[in-house]
Amino acid sequence: MAMLKNGKYEVSYPSSIDYLENVEAVTVKIANEAGFDESAIDDISIAITELFNNAIHHGNQNDINKKVHLTYTLSGKALSISIRDEGPGFEPDTLRDPLAPENLLADNGRGIYLVKMLMDKVRFNITDKGSEIIITKKL
Flag whether 117 is in a domain. Answer: yes
Across 80-93, average pLDDT: 83
pLDDT confidence band for 66 (50 / 70 / 90): very high
- Sheet containing 67-75: which strands, arranged edge to edge? 8-14, 67-75, 78-84, 130-138, 121-127
Q: Which burial class, exposed, middle or buried, applies to 75 when counting CB atoms under 10 A from its CB (0-12, 13-18, 19+)?
A: exposed
H helix or E strand, kind and range, residue 32 = helix 20-34
pTM for this prediction: 0.86
Write the CATH number for 124.
3.30.565.10
Flag whether 2 is in a domain. Answer: no
The closest alpha carbon to 45, from 65, 66, 62, 21, belongs to: 21
pLDDT (tens digit, 9 = 90+) per residue, 16-52?
999 999 999 999 999 999 999 999 999 999 999 999 9
Has residue 134 got a pLDDT over 90?
yes
Query: Residue 117's Cα: distance from chain center in Å?
Result: 13
Flag whether 3 is in a domain. Answer: no
Could you say which DSSP state residue 3 is in? S
Asked if 122 contacts 81 with a C-beta cutoff of 8 angstroms, the reply is no
Number of domains in the chain: 1
CA–CA gap between residue 22 and residue 4 (Å, rounded): 16
Phi, psi at 125, each rounded to 5°: -130, 95
Give the domain extent around 127: 8-138
pLDDT at 17: 95
pLDDT at 1: 44
pLDDT at 62: 95
Flag whether 23 is in a domain. Answer: yes
The closest alpha carbon to 139, from 33, 66, 45, 54, belongs to: 33
Has residue 86 got a pLDDT over 70?
yes
